[in-house]
Structure 1
Amino acid sequence: MDVCSEQHLICLDLGTTYSRVWLLCGDEVVARSIRPVGVRLVATEGSTRRIVTAVRDLVADVRSQAGDTHQPKCIAAAGMITSELGLKEIPHVVAPAGLKEIVSGSQWHHLDEISDLPFLMVPGVRTTLNNSPEDVMRGEETLCLGLISSGALTIPGVVMNLGSHWKAIKVDSSGRISKSVTSLSGELIDAARTQTVLASSLPKEFLCKLTWKWVEAGMTECRQAGLPRALFRIRLLEIGKEGTAEERLAFLAGAFIAADLDALVARGFLEDKQVVLSGRPGIADCWRRALQEISVQAYVLSTNDTERVFLIGLQQIVNGVQSRKEAQEAQMSIG
């Protein structure tokens, strides 16, 4: 069994659209590197070639930045790297799942085409209904562990990750992930903005701040006419020369927020009344205001805090795996 020292550790998060790598010395980030490459490419191209190249280059980059002083012994990897679209599929653990279950489901593997270091692969979490998958996650479980450990999430509570996918995660009073709900809203916003007739109505780049009045207008339109009609309304706004491209983007975001928020409320998902939001800043802040209007307390993590708690979560898993190994060795010596 491989051994990984917490003192020097490479951490990897392979997502749908981005891949991130850090080299840690204890709690300090010595080096970091990021590339706009994720498993969406595998879904569209049918090959992991570009993922392998990107991860190999990212690992080499942080090792080069850190220099000979910092010699990591392993790579702790979470996210979509362990999915069927990733580089080594690892089975999900079944909810309810906390640190103990995630540690038990983690596996050591070697990916020689990427690095000479061993990989500690972190499993995702699956919620089931009548023995069929109800929802899945990969990466967010690590974020949840870090939020709990750092005290940023009061349990029971809800974590909402607003990236390529919008995922709401319920964490129970024991600190275990009990269920989750995922939508494609993040990807659909980008697709509507770049791959449909709405492209001329909207700005080319996403904004860090969205005008709340226009977000509200999009939410209202979605609730009155449905999401598809609300999206076409953006085209009509452009034809009628109503609003700027940036304001119409806020309208678009509002339509998707209303669709997902109303579905979560209908499921009784927000009864815990405490939500931590992470993800794209402009979207996360609009979600905070939308939740506030239905009397749900919400807190937005900064980009830096999201990184910090994710790395805390990965370190917890590494420590848990090491402690489990030591306990097994101690038991064997007794026997």
Structure 2
Amino acid sequence: MGYYIIIDSGTTNTRIKLLDEQANILYTYSDKVGVKNTAVDGNNNALKDTVAKGIKHVMDKNNLTNADIIKIGASGMITSDLGLCEVPHQEAPVGIEDLRNGSKTIILKDITDLPITFISGVKNNVSEVTLDNVQMMDIMRGEEVETIAMLQELEKDREYLFILPGSHTKFIKINDKGQIAGCVTTLAGELLEVITQNTILSAAVDKKFLSPDLYNEKILLKGYENSKEVGMTRALFSTRILNRFVTSDAADCANYLLGIVLASDLGTIKSSKVLDVSSHTTVVVAGKEPLKKAIIYLLKQEGYFDNIIELENFDDANMSAKGVFHLIKN
């Protein structure tokens, strides 16, 4: 039996996973080092050391030699100019074979004697980005391999819209050929963090994000509707009004706040020319709770899409590993 080592390195974290030939994840090594270290230090030595140490750790802990490893793959920001091997973004539409053909396999002797295959990111197809069309351009590094893994679990020959909430919400359009047709990114997660931790609203939500067990659809929906009616910034301040005159419960205010931010996010879906969705586009929502549940609920309240699928047990790190596995497997 042989094994695959998959490296997923982002801005602040690196995860290295060991997979068997059936894509079962057998072992995980992680460290809080990413391309942010490269930006701060002015070199990628910290990232090199982390990946080298991680690969050795994974192999030693599982009593493996180089002969046991079939392939090593890497995705995420590790393939950017701040990573270990820059691989240019491919222009959408991009399918599985495009990602395979656009990857770069090299040996980095100061990391391992084994070759590493670096998977490219994806960018929207805009020949020249200007002030007039800047909204048409978007990029991804890492989500493309999550997308490949998700597609393996879904029906073929259908048009999808993947929604991946997180620090940045990623909307990914899949055409009926199974290709990434384009993507749109929002700053929703980071915005929620800033509002929760560093604004006049921090006290209203007790500087805490909404926990899944305190999720309240009624209050979420009211924040969503108010944001659509009067705009985000007015609706945001009304969270303070809610706290002062209606309820002092931090969870209520957090539900209201989440609805406000998601109104802007979900408004992107219909307004974006990149996504170009119709009511027949199948929507697939992944991610953590309560974001996933909230997005699905609000989409159903809008009543536009005929089919909305919840992707259960989604783990972005595991999905990334399985996506890379699918791309590099023999």
Same fold (TM over 0.5): yes
Name which of 167, 186, 199 aligns with 1:164. Answer: 167
* Residue 184, structure 1, aligned to residue 187, structure 2: yes
For 2:139 and 2:65, locate their aligned partners in 1 and report how far apart those are by CA, in whole Å: 39
Q: Which runs of 5+ in 1 are unaligned?
A: 1-5, 323-335
Counting aligned pairs with the same residue, the percent is 27
**Which deviates further from its counterpart, 12-21 or 22-31?**
12-21
Q: Which runs of 5+ in 2 are unaligned?
A: 130-135
Aligned to 1:239: 244
Name which of 81, 86, 91 aligns with 1:84. Answer: 81
**Residues 1-335 of structure 1: pairs in structure 2 closer than 5 A:** 7-27=2-22, 28-39=24-35, 48=44, 51-68=47-64, 71-132=68-129, 134-151=137-154, 155-202=158-205, 203-209=207-213, 210-240=215-245, 242-267=247-272, 269=275, 270-271=277-278, 272-295=280-303, 296=305, 297-304=307-314, 309-319=319-329
Query: Normalized per residue, which structure has more helix?
Result: 1
Aligned to 1:3: none
With normalisation by structure 2, the TM-score equals 0.83
Root mean square deviation of aligned Cα: 2.9
How many residue pairs were aligned?
Answer: 315
For 1:284 and 1:264, locate their aligned partners in 2 and report how far apart those are by CA, in whole Å: 16
Shift in CA distance, 60/275, structure 1 to aligned 2, threshold 3 Å: farther
With normalisation by structure 1, the TM-score equals 0.82
For 1:226 and 1:75, locate their aligned partners in 2 and report how far apart those are by CA, in whole Å: 48
For 2:313 and 2:41, locate their aligned partners in 1 and report how far apart those are by CA, in whole Å: 30
Q: Is the 8 A contact 2:4 2:71 kept in 1?
A: yes
Aligned to 1:332: none
For 1:135 and 1:126, locate their aligned partners in 2 and report how far apart those are by CA, in whole Å: 6
Deviation at 1:275, TM superposition (A): 1.2
Tell me the secondary structure at the aligned position of residue 292 of structure 2: helix
Deviation at 1:182, TM superposition (A): 0.8
For 2:52 and 2:198, locate their aligned partners in 1 and report how far apart those are by CA, in whole Å: 31
Q: Is the 8 A contact 2:7 2:321 kept in 1?
A: no
Deviation at 1:97, TM superposition (A): 0.7
Residues 29-83 of structure 1 show CA distances to partners (whole Å, capped at 9, x for unaligned) of: 1101344554456567766555445444543443343233894254211112112
Shift in CA distance, 40/241, structure 1 to aligned 2, threshold 3 Å: farther
